[in-house]
Amino acid sequence: PNSSVIFSSFGDNAPPLTLTQNDYNNCTMFLTARKFDEFKDYINKIFFDKITNNSPVEIINNLYSVISICKNALSELSKQYETQITKQINTLHILIKTSWKISEFKERLFQTLDEYKEVINTSYENSNLAKNEEIANTTCRIVEENYTDYNLSVTYIAEKQQLSTVYLCKIFKNVKKCQLNNYINEFRIEKATELIETTSLSIKEISSKCGFSNTNYFYTLFKKFKKITAMEYKSRFEKK
């Protein structure tokens, strides 16, 4: 068949899909996974590279199949990442009616996909950032609400959010720029500092109230974060 086809002669009624179900599934999988380049490679392999083996009607059918796949997958991505490309997606079929050569259709389709790729990937990154910030903020809230509990730990927090400890620590470090264990310890030490400044409780009582079951460990951490021993710090306020 000639590479030039008068697409507009089909009017508004798209021919039935002729790509195999396996082709359809693979194409949809690539797009919904945001693997736009893999999708283009696959379409080239199963369709554009073999265009001369198809009759004109088969070519048209498959063009509509490709558009159908793109519209369905991109619509799902648009909903998932709350992008504003629904209107553009619904006009994809116009590429068929306004392209007079297969090469022109392919070029315009791939160009359109590249534009969608940028929008979708930006939305994906933003949605991941928002999700990670929510996890990190929830982690901080759990620490604030449970710092007096001896059982508070990275594992405890991860289980509360149904996350793995490795994943939780990675997200927390990326968002808050500090290690989660350090954050827990420093938060407890800050609370202990407040008690030292405002109460007459003993260091042992204060360390216990701040979630430390081992007073010696409390002394070590206090010196680490405050650059002064807990007893020295307490003596400052006893003299006032």
Residue 154: count of CB within 10 angstroms of its CB: 18
DSSP label of 54: S
Half-sphere exposure of 64 (CA within 13 A, CB side): 17
CB 198 within 8 A of CB 212: no
Cα gap 72→10, rounded to integer Å: 21
Q: What pLDDT, on the 0 to 100 scale, is given for residue 123?
A: 79
Q: Kindly report the CA angle at 156 between 155 and 157, in degrees rounded to 5?
A: 90
pLDDT digits (tens, 9 = 90+) for 102-136: 888 888 888 888 888 888 888 777 778 888 989 99
Q: What pLDDT, on the 0 to 100 scale, is given for residue 92?
A: 74
Task: Calculate the dihedral angle through the C-alpha atoms of 95, 96, 97, 103, rounding to the nearest 10 degrees.
Answer: 90
Half-sphere exposure of 24 (CA within 13 A, CB side): 14
**Using only C-alpha atoms, what is the Rg of the chain?**
30
Cα gap 37→44, rounded to integer Å: 11
CB-count burial class (<10 Å; 0-12, 13-18, 19+) for 132 = middle
Residue 217: count of CB within 10 angstroms of its CB: 12
- For residue 142, give both structure tokens: 């759990």
Q: What pLDDT, on the 0 to 100 scale, is given for residue 53?
A: 63
pLDDT digits (tens, 9 = 90+) for 64-97: 888 888 888 877 777 766 666 665 666 677 777 7
Q: What pLDDT, on the 0 to 100 scale, is given for residue 87?
A: 59
Q: What pLDDT, on the 0 to 100 scale, is given for residue 32?
A: 81
DSSP label of 52: G
For every residue of 85-141, DSSP letters joined together read -HHHHTTTTHHHHH--BHHHHHHHHHHHHHHHHHHHHHHHHHHHHHHHHHHHHHHHH
Q: What pLDDT, on the 0 to 100 scale, is given for residue 12?
A: 44
Q: pLDDT by residue for the chain (240 residues), tens digit each?
A: 333 343 443 444 444 445 677 888 888 888 888 888 998 898 888 777 766 666 777 777 777 888 888 888 877 777 766 666 665 666 677 777 777 788 888 888 888 888 888 888 887 777 788 889 899 999 999 999 999 999 999 999 999 999 999 999 999 999 998 999 999 999 999 999 999 999 999 999 999 999 999 999 999 999 999 999 999 999 987 765
CB 206 within 8 A of CB 219: no
Cα gap 57→143, rounded to integer Å: 65
Residue 173 CA: distances (Å) to CA of 37, 67, 70, 180, 236? 31, 42, 37, 7, 35
pTM to 2 decimals? 0.57
Q: What pLDDT, on the 0 to 100 scale, is given for residue 127?
A: 77
